[in-house]
């Protein structure tokens, strides 16, 4: 599975660790939210990055108290029609101020990439049939946005009403 991060295909420096597997001393690890709860102090005391993988029904409140201790949050998409992860990502970025890596995992397809990025995802475990390099064009598929989002793109209404577009009589066109 390819990893797309910051709109590039990159090597994944993180390892998903099963609940029963030992945690390596070095390297970034992604553990389940259940394991994080059970081993929080030990995991947070490592000299390496730690991330958690939420469950499909988990909202951002399950990690709210630990956001300062986490370097990555993996948000699952079990199937194409499940949109809960979009809301979770947006809340993590906008309401809770999470600044670490926000990774979409699971059934992550090309058609979702631009929308996921708008919600605050910056990394994607890409599972689409299109080659990952070719899927990067998806980020440019949406040229105009109509509402603000976590990606902070300027909306069409804001651009339309910008003072630089004003006519000499004070109206905008």
Q: Is there a single domain that holds both residue 23 and residue 86?
A: yes
- Distance separating alpha carbons of residues 154 and 95, to the nearest angstrom: 19
Q: Is there a single domain that holds both residue 131 and residue 59?
A: yes
Q: Which domain holds residue 169?
A: 144-173
Are the beta carbons of 44 and 70 closer than 8 angstroms?
no
- Distance separating alpha carbons of residues 32 and 54, to the nearest angstrom: 6
Q: Is there a single domain that holds both residue 113 and residue 153?
A: no
The two tokens of residue 2 are 């390819």
Whether pTM exceeds 0.95 = no
Q: Is there a single domain that holds both residue 89 and residue 13?
A: yes
pLDDT tens-place values along the chain, 173 residues long: 899 999 999 999 999 999 999 999 999 999 999 999 999 999 999 999 999 999 988 999 999 999 999 999 999 998 777 889 999 999 999 999 999 999 999 999 999 999 999 899 999 999 988 899 999 999 888 776 566 666 666 666 666 766 666 555 555 55
Q: Is there a single domain that holds both residue 91 and residue 107?
A: yes
Q: Is there a single domain that holds both residue 47 and residue 67?
A: yes
- Distance separating alpha carbons of residues 122 and 100, to the nearest angstrom: 9
Query: How many domains does the structure of the chain reveal?
Result: 2
- Distance separating alpha carbons of residues 5 and 170, to the nearest angstrom: 43
Q: Is there a single domain that holds both residue 164 and residue 150?
A: yes
> CATH number, domain at 69?
3.20.20.70
The helix (run of H) or strand (run of E) holding residue 50 is strand 50-53
Q: Is there a single domain that holds both residue 165 and residue 126?
A: no
Length of the chain: 173
């Amino acid at each position: 599975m390819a990893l797309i991060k910051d709109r590039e295909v990159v090597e994944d420096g993180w390892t998903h660790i099963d609940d029963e597997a030992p945690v390596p001393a070095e390297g970034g690890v992604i553990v389940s939210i259940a394991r994080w709860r059970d081993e929080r102090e030990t995991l947070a005391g490592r000299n390496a990055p730690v991330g958690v993988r939420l469950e499909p029904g988990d909202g951002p409140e399950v990690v709210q108290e630990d956001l300062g201790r986490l370097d990555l949050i993996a948000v699952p998409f079990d199937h194409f029609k499940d949109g809960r992860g979009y809301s979770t990502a947006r809340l993590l970025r906008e309401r809770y101020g999470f600044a670490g890596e926000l990774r979409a995992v699971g059934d992550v397809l090309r058609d979702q990439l631009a929308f996921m990025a708008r919600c605050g995802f910056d990394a994607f475990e890409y599972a689409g049939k299109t080659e990952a390099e070719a899927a990067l064009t998806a980020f440019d598929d949406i040229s105009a946005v109509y509402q603000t989002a976590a990606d902070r793109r300027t909306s069409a209404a804001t651009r339309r009403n910008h003072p630089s577009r004003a006519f000499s009589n004070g109206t905008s066109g």
